[in-house]
Amino acid sequence: MALLSLLDHSLIGAADRVALEADAAGGATQSLTFGDLEARSNRLAVALAARGVTRGDRLAFLLANRVEIIDLWLACMKLGIIVVPINVLYQQREIAHIVGDAEPLAVVTTADRAADLPTGTPAWIVETLHEEAEAHTEITRARPAMVTATVCDADTPMALVYTSGTTGASKGAVLTHGNFAANALVLTADWGMRADDRLLNTLPLFHVHGLGNALHLWLLSGCHMKLTARFEASRAAEWFGAYAPTVFFGVPTMYVRLLDLAADTARAIGAHARLFVCGSAPLPAHVLEAFHERFGHVILERYGMTETLMNVSNPYHGERRAGTVGLPLSLTSVRIVDEQGADVPVGTSGELWVRGPNVCAGYWRRPEATAAAFADGWFRTGDIGVRAADGYITLEGRRSELIISGGFNIYPREIEELLMEQPGIREATVVGAPDPARGEVPVAYVVSDADIDAAALTALLRTQLASFKLPRAFVRVEALPRTALGKVQKHLLPPVS
Ligand code: MCA
Ligand code: AMP
């Protein structure tokens, strides 16, 4: 079944229901019905077609959260166009890799970011595109022929979402209409999403946590969503207070920030709410417990990946066990295996392999990486975990050196390579150091000819890396600890003082 037909229960079936309030330009708030979203995306589909985009083409966006991302996502879904979301915090070097690999026809962005695109890549300014779409006043809630004539099925690619997987350069996970449909159906059912829910979404729409979970659960359940440009801890009391959400999806850093709210504010927020979900990085058990005490809710922790969308979740009904990610979701199977790919017994650690309609079709134009990621039809997550006798799964770490900071992924190698390009730096290695709010933060160890000027180096790196990738400390060492074969032994590095 095409993804769109699931969302039609809201876009068409609940057209007159108020669907969304969103941050708009100049601090204003915009309110739209499902029918408005249907009409806007129909008009945008016509405008995109007029610009020559057709089924199978890639179209990227580099935008902070705004309604136009929803318009674009729906218009592309309607035309079979493949969306390539780009993290808005990325700088030129990071953007160039994705654009070079996905070869989008254009990148939809704001005027101030157009210069960050590689030379020769068309920047389609989001406001201009919106005006062009809105000029098609004859197109309303009735779908234009080009939409009704486009047939997408479960195997049609919907998005290329960039991730480094467990090894190598950043790759585009090919997520299909079927992957998103399965994810939306399962989560809506398993988490009991309802049309009378109020979902506060502060997650960025350029990652699948915001895009595949928040956006689709809202559109499938037909509930109401408040979309903010981004999460801001200083505005949380105002948002939660005025909007009174029943459902909130967040990363652990957001929950750590919410613990700073006054006790009576926290209690009032909890009184309106039904469900708090957390994922993308480990939720420390003490945060779950402190949140329970202050807000009166046990956070439901779940586990997913860009390549697989959601895999495992604590139950809605039943025990939400601190420190675990729960049980496999309804359409996903999970094996825990040893180095040879044999199932390990209960209580023994191994790599998680998953299978289900949520698992991506592979990596964009990388048959070898795709072949390496799958074994006998199972996707090798690279995550290490253990299953208890009653089935609850606890994640214990990763096979790769991936650092997750505030829910954003950081691949040490990218920073290491950039550091080693700097004059005077002979060797560099980057590791994750524990951080109470962000989970982990990157720290660099360097072998250099002279003292490190941390401020100057940070200023330089800031022009090339997203802010969350900037090392929080630079430690100068005489030599990096290496094995006889020359591999850096990161666990032997001295702790940061
Ligand atoms: C942070 N910044 C942003 C955003 N988030 N800028 C624009 N849009 C954003 N969404 C910038 C800030 O301007 C600042 O930059 C820096 O990041 C840190 O911001 P700060 O306010 O100090 O934030 P914080 O309190 O530390 O909280 C950070 C955060 C952010 C809001 C929790 O990390 C975040 O939105 N994380 C969500 C990531 C996510 O969605 N991951 C899902 C991946 P400067 O330093 O320059 O001032 S998908 C996934 O992992 C799988 C599938 C899964 O299981 O979900
Ligand atoms: P990404 O590449 O951004 O999709 O990140 C996926 C990775 O995030 C997974 O492979 C896990 O390592 C991690 N992750 C997601 N959810 C959780 C969770 N609840 N607990 C621990 N790690 C998680």
pLDDT tens sequence across 38-88: 999 999 999 999 999 999 999 999 999 999 999 999 999 999 999 999 999
Find out whether the beta carbon of 394 lies less than 6 Å from any atom of ligand 2.
no
Q: Which of 162, 163, 280, 392 to mutate to test the pocket of ligand 2 (most atoms within 8 A of CB)?
A: 280
> Which residue's CA lies nearest to atom 10 of ligand 2?
305
Domain 299-398 CATH superfamily = Luciferase; Domain 3 (2.30.38.10)
Indicate the domain borders of the chain: 2-230, 299-398, 402-492
Find out whether the beta carbon of 407 lies less than 6 Å from any atom of ligand 2.
no
Q: Which amino acid appears at position 467 of this protein?
A: S
User: In terms of DSSP bridges, do strands 224-227 and 82-85 run parallel, antiparallel, or are they unpaired?
Assistant: unpaired
Please say whether the beta carbons of 87 and 466 come within 8 A.
Answer: yes
| The dihedral sign for the CA sequence 107, 112, 118, 121 | positive
Q: Which atom of ligand 1 is nearest to the CA of 466?
A: 46
Mean pLDDT, the chain, integer: 96
Find out whether the beta carbon of 209 lies less than 6 Å from any atom of ligand 1.
yes
Helix axes 177-190, 3-11, angle to 10 degrees: 50
Find out whether the beta carbon of 395 lies less than 6 Å from any atom of ligand 2.
yes
| Ligand approaching nearest to the C-alpha of 470 | 1
User: In terms of DSSP bridges, do strands 198-201 and 247-250 run parallel, antiparallel, or are they unpaired?
Assistant: parallel
| Ligand approaching nearest to the C-alpha of 303 | 2
Please say whether the beta carbons of 325 and 314 come within 8 A.
Answer: yes
Alpha carbon distance 321, 382 (integer Å): 23
Residues of the chain with pLDDT under 70: 1, 164-168
For residue 229, the model assigns a pLDDT of 96
Please say whether the beta carbons of 59 and 81 come within 8 A.
Answer: yes
For residue 2, the model assigns a pLDDT of 81
CATH of 2-230, one of 3.40.50.980, 3.30.460.80, 1.25.40.10, 1.10.3720.10: 3.40.50.980
Burial, 489: exposed, middle or buried (Cβ in 10 Å; 0-12, 13-18, 19+)? exposed
Query: 336 - beta bridge partners?
Result: 352
Find out whether the beta carbon of 88 lies less than 6 Å from any atom of ligand 1.
yes
Please say whether the beta carbons of 496 and 488 come within 8 A.
Answer: no
For residue 168, the model assigns a pLDDT of 59
Find out whether the beta carbon of 253 lies less than 6 Å from any atom of ligand 2.
no
Look up residue 45 and give its DSSP letter: H
> Which residue's CA lies nearest to atom 7 of ligand 2?
305
> Which architecture characterizes domain 402-492 according to CATH?
2-Layer Sandwich (3.30)
**CA 89 to ligand 1 centroid distance, Å:** 9
Closest CA to 307 of 173, 166, 171: 173
For residue 165, the model assigns a pLDDT of 53
Q: Which of 359, 468, 472 to mutate to test the pocket of ligand 1 (most atoms within 8 A of CB)?
A: 468
Look up residue 326 and give its DSSP letter: B
Q: What are phi and psi of 351, to 5 degrees?
A: -85, 140
Find out whether the beta carbon of 360 lies less than 6 Å from any atom of ligand 2.
no
> Which residue's CA lies nearest to atom 45 of ligand 1?
467
pTM of the model: 0.95
SS3 387: strand
For residue 310, the model assigns a pLDDT of 98
Look up residue 330 and give its DSSP letter: T
